[in-house]
A and B are shown apart, each in its own frame.
Chain A
């Protein structure tokens, strides 16, 4: 065994253990903040597995999308609504736990029989490695054109939507005094132009 193969084997073992361990932590820990941080650990370990598979671009995309966007948004959501409520134990709560465990075990058994039962065809081609970016681009613009275009239009819509939402006129804190006359109007009002310096002296933020 050469040095590179040994390193790969050890790293695979470490990353697999990390994925399983952190994923179990996400499910089993009762503190939701820990679960959210461990979810980031799961995503990072999976991207490490992609690196081992010579898929550098997929690994970087995994980090950017799942760790940088999805996980940060989850954490953001948790921390903005971090309202601690006393937990009252539910009567016969154990039924729920057993039912969940049963469903999970059943799913696990189903998937493992499927994985073990399928005769996987191993590709003998050497991985393209760094050339993958070009190859992915080729596929996007030939046989996966429609899904790619649909996804890109959707993302562009989201981007434009974010800009529109951000540029929306402001909603006043207290309802306007003549509320009866324009009850059917949207709550947004055109922003009043305040001369510079006046607002700053009132609320030094």
Chain B
């Protein structure tokens, strides 16, 4: 597995064969993965919106979108085009600069976090050492954007929504970080690649879900709260706050919040699949199968197949989690704000702390199973 596919190396080599200097070839490579990830994120929004509409329709025994494209798959594109052509209104007494800056500050960190998502051994934009820590750090910028848009809208519902969003975000950041810390403790690294590597080799049995049964529940609850998904969508609770911090927004500025929330959901699902479900590893290890059939793992066609399986596995796991999140949205009622903060501070935080201590103790006692 150490050899793998090196797309960057092959691309640079190809261009240098055409007579380009190596530096120029490298500079030409740089924008390619970034654009690819941006495109993938956009497509993931379409898929998620379609899933959300279809699954919620099924949960309520309706049909859901049907006329835009086959099975209504183009409904999200229609929504996006509608938002693009809407008039961009800034309220008269709103603070124009902050009002415009707010949505951007919410969306940018989410897209930046896609930097660390690996889809295979070498299929990642950058394998930076701080890896998962970067995601936690970046996701802590979002509340500033929420507070900014809530304050600048000059509307009491917006301000309340922004304050709620920030409070919710800082409360659930701590259990989330503690759950991630337990995983990092077991894999001895912050890098997302190393975290997946540590789970590889035993197929489905090696995944972290079995070693962190409490941790993954904490992570999933906290991630849903960070994404403001329905059991925890208090910042935009329709019955109480109109639409929270989004109340005064129209057109593409509102669209940015929409895009941000869906990309954030997909991102959380991807990170969940990397941390607990073995990332690009398939339930039955490909290495094991190739060893069984006596195919060398440096065979080119096998490497291509492994990479393809890796991408499919990561995406399938992530979308299973998205499906779960959508299903939760239509089955669980919304909590109250005091219940939300109670759950975060009185229950999740102590449990996450105990989970971390237990993991550390188990790591010392059974270094074989817990990555000593």
Contact = CB atoms under 8 A, between A and B. Distances in A.
B349 A163 contact: yes
B192 to A, nearest CB: 13
A57 interface: yes
7 nearest A-B residue pairs (beta carbon):
A68-B140, A130-B129, A166-B345, A64-B137, A63-B137, A60-B137, A56-B130
Interface string A61-83: 10110011101110110011000
A56 B128 contact: yes
A69 B140 contact: yes
A86 to B, nearest CB: 18
Nearest to B191: A130
B342 interface: yes
Contact of B141 (A63, A75, A159, A205): A63
A187 interface: no
Nearest to B135: A60
Contact of B136 (A37, A64, A76, A166): A64
Interface of A: 2-3, 33, 37, 40, 44, 56-57, 60-61, 63-64, 67-69, 71-73, 75-76, 79-80, 129-133, 159, 162-163, 166-167, 205
Nearest to B144: A40
Interface of B: 23, 26-27, 98, 128-130, 133-134, 136-138, 140-141, 143-144, 147-148, 151, 159, 162-163, 166-167, 170, 173-174, 190-191, 240, 336-337, 341-342, 345-346, 349-350, 353
Given A67-B144, A79-B163, A57 B133 contact: yes
A167 B143 CA distance: 25
A33 B102 CA distance: 14
B318 to A, nearest CB: 23
Nearest to B138: A63
A125 B173 CA distance: 37
B129 A166 contact: no
Contacts of A129: 129
Contacts of B23: 2-3
Contacts of A69: 140, 170
B147 A76 contact: yes
A56 B350 contact: no
